[in-house]
A and B are shown apart, each in its own frame.
Chain A
Amino acid sequence: MEQNAKAELYLAFAAIFQRPRPEISDHLEELIELWAEEIPASRTQVQVLEDFCRKHPAGEKRLNTLWEHYIPLFETGKVEASPYASVHLNREKQVLGTESMAVKSFYEKAGYAIESNGELPDHLAVELEFAALLARDGQEEYLAEFKKVHLLPFLSVILPLIRNSGRPVYAAAAAILQDWQIHSEERG
């Protein structure tokens, strides 16, 4: 896969797994198109997503539907799949665990800083965005190390949770990401 496509893919997943916002919700079709094109195994899930887009045309209603599922899935209360790596990979099952610190150090090592008053460093979308930047800039070694040490262990725990939630859009996107990052890796 060419470097640009890889970067765009990471970014597309970073887009879908961050908090819903209008510009992303309105460009959902574009993300789906990218997945369809670059990840052949995603065919079934892409159809599910396309159905969603047909039923929920771009606009406020689509955005609210995304919120309706994003909040219990990732954000408060039920938190079916907490988006923070620490919660899954560290003993305390809480945020800001050692994994969070480790990821932050990795960012710094690679020459990136994360806003201290923004999202926590080990948020799923943040890690994916970081991978996109590394891919875009051709920092292949960092990307490989980041994947191995941080991203893949996290994805292998959280993606099944998101899939199993059955939440529209998110479950399908998780399945596609699984296909791309985990299953394709397994197939070598």
Chain B
Amino acid sequence: MAKQYVMVIQASKCIGCQACTVACKFQNEVPEGQYRTKSPAVGPTGTYPNVKLYFEKEACQMCKNAPCVAVCPTKASYHNEDGVVLVDSNKCVGCKYCMTACPYDARFINEETGAADKCSFCYEHRVSQGEKPACVSTCVGGALSFGDLNDPNSDVKKLLDKYKAEVRKPEFGTHPNVYYIYEGVK
């Protein structure tokens, strides 16, 4: 059976330590000054002393209905067999259509390769080898979970059954495979 890889982010457990940010850079050899993922703070919001703060992990949302794939003139952006959105840098001509189309601002032109770049769920080097993505493996707070939603025993399935989860910008109809659980932080 095909897999449906998803990432679930529990904001209550994210401490904004940026371990994921740095792990991603080394795993994916992302050039200086560029990032596939970052976790900026949202807040503090509210009025002293009643304030709140949480962190929002930003990266490709791995849409099932991906605008980037749809607009790509060279088919460099594509869904692989496990539903992961990837970029074939050899086919990419750097036209930036995908960057314009992405509602999540998740893509950039890699300064080194000249191709569009973004989170790949570490598919090639880790996930296809049975490992978790680099960010998930190093998450100090334990906020990140990754797995196959079609597997009833996966952490991600259990989390999504247990908690109310959201996707970002549902109004775009992109059906992301990255879910956010905000319980306890908003």
Contact = CB atoms under 8 A, between A and B. Distances in A.
B171 interface: no
B151 interface: no
B73 interface: no
Contacts of B111: 91
Contacts of A145: none
Nearest to B26: A92
B161 interface: no
Interface string A61-98: 00000000000000000000000000000011100000
Nearest to B29: A91
B124 interface: no
Interface residues of A, number: 3
Contacts of B112: 91
Contacts of A93: 32
Contacts of A91: 29, 31-32, 111-112
B49 to A, nearest CB: 43
Interface residues of B, number: 5
Interface string B103-137: 00000000110000000000000000000000000
B114 to A, nearest CB: 12
Interface in A83-117: 91-93
Contacts of B29: 91-92
B33 to A, nearest CB: 10
Contacts of B31: 91-92
B149 to A, nearest CB: 34
Interface string B81-112: 00000000000000000000000000000011
Nearest to B31: A91
A93 B111 CA distance: 12
Nearest to B111: A91
Interface string A108-142: 00000000000000000000000000000000000
A84 to B, nearest CB: 15
A93 B33 CA distance: 11
A91 B112 CA distance: 6
B113 to A, nearest CB: 9
A92 B22 CA distance: 13
Nearest to A93: B32
A91 B111 CA distance: 8
A81 to B, nearest CB: 17
Interface string B132-172: 00000000000000000000000000000000000000000
A92 B27 CA distance: 12
A93 B32 CA distance: 7
Nearest to B34: A91
A92 B112 CA distance: 10
A92 B111 CA distance: 11
B123 to A, nearest CB: 20
A34 B66 CA distance: 64
Interface of A: 91-93
Interface of B: 29, 31-32, 111-112
Given A91-B29, A91-B32, 7 more contacts: A91-B31, A91-B111, A91-B112, A92-B29, A92-B31, A92-B32, A93-B32
9 contacts: A91-B29, A91-B31, A91-B32, A91-B111, A91-B112, A92-B29, A92-B31, A92-B32, A93-B32
